[in-house]
Amino acid sequence: MAETSKFESLSYRIRRDATGIAAWFGSHWRDRRWFRWGAIGLCVLVALWLISWAALARSLPDAETLLEYEPPLPTVVRGIEGEIVHSYARDRRVQLQYSDFPEQLIDAYLAAEDKTFFTHGGIDAGGLAGAVIDYASKIGSDERAVGGSTITQQVAKNILLTNEYSITRKVKEMMLARRIEGVLTKQEILELYLNEIPLGRRSFGVQAAARAYFDKDVADLELQEMAFLAILPKAPEVYGRSQNAQRAIERRNFVLDKMVENEFIGVSEAAVAKSLPLGLSTQSMLSRRVDAGYFLEEVRRELLDKFGETADDSKNSVYAGGLWVRTSLDPEMQDAARNALRRGMMRYHGSNGWRGPIATIDFDDGAWDLQLASSNLGINYEGWRVGVVTRREGGSATIGFSDGEEFPLTNLPNALKAGDVIASVKTGNRYSVRTLPEASGGFVAQDPQTGRVLAMQGGFDARLGSFNRATQANRQPGSTIKPFVYATGLDNGMTPATEIENGTYCYYQGSRYGEKCFRGGRGGSYPMRYGLEQSQNIMTVQIAMESGMPNVIKTIEQMGIGSYDPFPAFALGAGETTVMKMVNAYSALANHGRLNAATLIDYVQDRRGKVIYRADKRACEGCNMAKWDGQPMPRIAPGGEQAMDARTAFQTVHMLEGVIQRGTGTVLRSLDLPMFGKTGTTTGPKDVWFVGGTPDVIAGAYIGFDTPRNMGGYAQGGTIAAPIIKQFFQETKAKQSGDPFVAPKGVRMVRVDRASGKRVFDAWPGKDPKASVIWEAFKPDTEPPRKTARDEIEAKRKEILALIRRGSSARAQTSTVVETEQPPDDFVEEQGGLY
């Protein structure tokens, strides 16, 4: 009863007070105009505020999108063994999980940015009040007010909003922060923040920043380094510069003090950290870890074609998709290829004088150091640096580099002038001019069994220009095309022992072109092998014409070299092709005629590890069965296509081994490896070539001027290009198995006389490269007899002459002889032979 009375009393007082307030409001509304207008104004303001809040709330992005948020990530490139060799990125970004961040690193950021992070609901009331006061005090000035943002608000700004400086953006940020706190856990918010916060030096997130500033992973950072990273969100472009080191140390020490205040670390621990220098890394900002610019640029072009450049093109784009790319790049072979090609270019250049600047800079276009830095020109060779001549006065000059430093310059060419961008090397406290070779070239190394490109060098240095001479320069291959002419002859009834005339050869080209003659060469007839070993043009044209030029062109096309008209000049290498195509064709020869597509990328994975592209598309049925079914082991079908008869390919390779042993490529013989190959020298000569290799690796290189011109009569493939290949195989010899080339099924190995091609029964091949007896490869039933038709004709001629000299009586006597059938001289080996 008493409780009911208390309730009624309270209800009465409320009604009474409400009636009193209403009466007071009504009387003031009627009697006081200023009250009436004030009340109306207040209602309007409240209404506008509610409408604005609703409008802002409706225009905000959905915080739940953060649950599936995928930050833009760079593409990471791996080499043949899985090691990271490069990344394609416009920004430094590395995605880590919350558990990957060291606890002290998290504490440093909480102390510096948001000490109440784990207790507030997205907005820190104290920080907000301070920000409002600071903003009011700076109205009308050019200063930017303190933001007062929590970590959650910074996540909202960095991911879902813009960096606009306005009250509207701040209100949106607060509203979103509240929503984010309702969607994500505190750990998830911190993970987003530490992965996305911009920290200068093009780095986003603490892992990228740790690499950019200290060349370390976050797990290896020391306390003072963590505190430094925690100061960067405020002003990364200020604290990250060497000239502001003192300001950065003061701010870092402030963070360490805050960590002590929040009991994250002890006083003594902070004191030790504060006594240490910043220790910022000054290493190059390049993300490339292997000097393989031409190879990696070729990979980038392929990826852009397949997946696009930005997130607008594809979710798996090169610069945002976070792809993981496995390539066939062998860093050791790449270094060897680069070194060998450069040495060949420098060797050809010799003591020739300065050839002019790499580029020029106009000082009227702005600061020379900024122009030089933006040019991205560089060089990685024996300590050379690229700089710009900042002053030239008579016999003295200075050179400047992209970091703004200048030094005296010596060894001055007469034509050198201010504004020239040149190569130089440090000598004492000054720099000396260095000359880049004018002639350039290309190099490719490939696995012949798979077509995987192991190394590629498209010039002296990719930092001097992106034009890739290994894939983009169309050059005449010269005599390196000849093996495919000889292979056509072998497919059209000839053998390595077939005798070919080596005299002048003429043929009629029609009324328009008249007669064409090929001259030169050593007169007489020689086995086909001799023509290939000694690179005889007349024999090559003879073989091409007897086989049919359309057949020769068909072979060249089937091997992927190019498409040409059926003119004899193309049998001598007059058509254009690339180093890549020639190496790939030679790889097919070593692979028993199976032609694989040349590939640089093995496979591509998306950011979650799913394979989205694979170069080798062969299926392996049954390879992943849960239990053995008792059947033979599954086997993957051979790759590529059979572009040439396997026996023909081996015969050609076997003849090309003679090029190394006693032909135009003997400079390679001292490597003591099973090798085949062919030199090439084009008319002029304008280009010099060598293509060949071992059963494990095929390599090819050319040297020539970018605008083709005469290289000098002394320039030959065997003296300039072959030594490049030799150096490459010397540096990579440990990777060679040393196994010989293996003959395919259906090849007979027969002893022949090297000079005549005739079959030999009473002698064996020796180790001397110039031994008279060698093993030769033949298809069944094409082996030569001991005596050739030419021998029989010559013997019969001599017999007839002898009979004429003896007179009619001798002829009568001869006619009475009863002929008896005798077994052929080569009867024994005709019954089986050696395989």
Catalytic residues: 113, 479
Q: Is 120 left (phi over 0), alpha (psi -120 to 50) or beta?
A: beta
The first and second tokens of residue 329, run together, are 């790049």
The dihedral through the CA atoms of 711, 712, 718, 719 has a sign that is negative
CA atoms within 13 A on the CB side of 629: 10
| Number of DSSP helices (H) and strands (E) in the chain, helices first | 25, 26
Residue 641's beta-bridge partner residues?
595
Give the span between the Cα atoms of 76 and 299, in whole angstroms: 12
* Exposure class string for 375-411: b at 16+ Cβ within 10 A, else e: bebbbbbeebbbbbbbebeeeebbbbbbeeebbebbb
Phi, psi of 172 (to 5 degrees): -60, -40
Question: Distances from the Cα of 141 to the Cαs of 127, 137, 232, 465, 590, in angstroms?
Answer: 21, 9, 25, 49, 77
- Dihedral of CA atoms 9, 15, 16, 17 in degrees, nearest 10, equals 110
Q: What is the DSSP letter of 721?
A: I
Three-state DSSP string of 618-648? CCCCCCCCCCCCCCCCCCCCCCCEECCCHHH
Angle in degrees, CA 476, 481, 487, rounded to 5: 165
Contact 668, 722 (CB under 8 A): yes
- Dihedral of CA atoms 790, 796, 801, 802 in degrees, nearest 10, equals 130
Q: What is the DSSP letter of 508?
A: E
What are the residues whose beta carbons fall under 8 Å from the beta carbon of 108, sequence distance 6 or more? 226, 227, 229, 230, 255, 259, 264
What are the residues whose beta carbons fall under 8 Å from the beta carbon of 169, sequence distance 6 or more? 157, 161, 162
Residue 92's beta-bridge partner residues?
203
Question: What is the distance in angstroms between the CA of the first residue and the CA of the last residue of the chain?
Answer: 122
* CB neighbourhood size of 113 (10 A): 21
Give the span between the Cα atoms of 170 and 132, in whole angstroms: 11
Phi, psi of 676 (to 5 degrees): -135, 165
Give the span between the Cα atoms of 250 and 729, in whole angstroms: 56
User: Residue 779 class from Cβ within 10 Å (0-12 exposed, 13-18 middle, 19+ buried)?
Assistant: middle
What are the residues whose beta carbons fall under 8 Å from the beta carbon of 780, sequence distance 6 or more? 746, 748
| Nearest alpha-carbon partner for 446 in 330, 274, 593, 279 | 330
